[in-house]
Amino acid sequence: MKKITLVLLSTVFSFNVYAAVGTDYTQPYTNDQLYFEFGKKEGLVNIVDDFMINLLADPRTRTSFEKFDQARIKAQLVEQFCEILGGPCKYAGAQMKPIHASLNIDKAQFNALVEALQKAMDKHQVSFDTQNKLLAKLAPMHRDIITR
């Protein structure tokens, strides 16, 4: 039930958070409490490692990741999550829209990506509330990632 609720919440977030509360994923949380709740950089590295394993194992997301440099993607995700969660990192990767433009990602693939992230966070015992805080910051990216 928790997974279904989280998937539904993430889907709702992905379409309503930005408009409803003005959340902007580019604005990190102002303190580092969430960064610590995720286990700091070491915790984020572990979560992102499992996230990538989940993405490559899922036929809905595999093709969007298998032909690219996974080590680079993981490093950039750690950097991005670290900054968003109020950690000391600065994301220096590409903007979401141009990097995803040619990938032809649909809503089902995006939702599968969210599920893969949730599964990784669950494995590392990130609380439901803490997961939702990260998802709320990431949700507005759907506009730049979903291209079909």
Q: Which two tokens stand for residue 122?
A: 């669950």
Q: Which two tokens stand for residue 146?
A: 């979903």
100 is in an annotated binding site: yes
**Cα–Cα distance between 90 and 86 in angstroms, integer?**
10
- The set of residues, in sequence order, having a beta carbon less than 8 Å from that of 18 and lying 6+ positions away, is 24, 139, 140, 143
Place of tokens 């949700």: 139
**Cα–Cα distance between 132 and 10 in angstroms, integer?**
8
For residue 145, the tally of other CB atoms under 10 A from its CB is 20
Residues 108, 146: contact at Cβ < 8 Å? no
Polymer length of the chain: 148
**Cα–Cα distance between 10 and 111 in angstroms, integer?**
8
What residue numbers does the annotated binding site cover? 100
What residue numbers does the annotated binding site for heme cover? 100
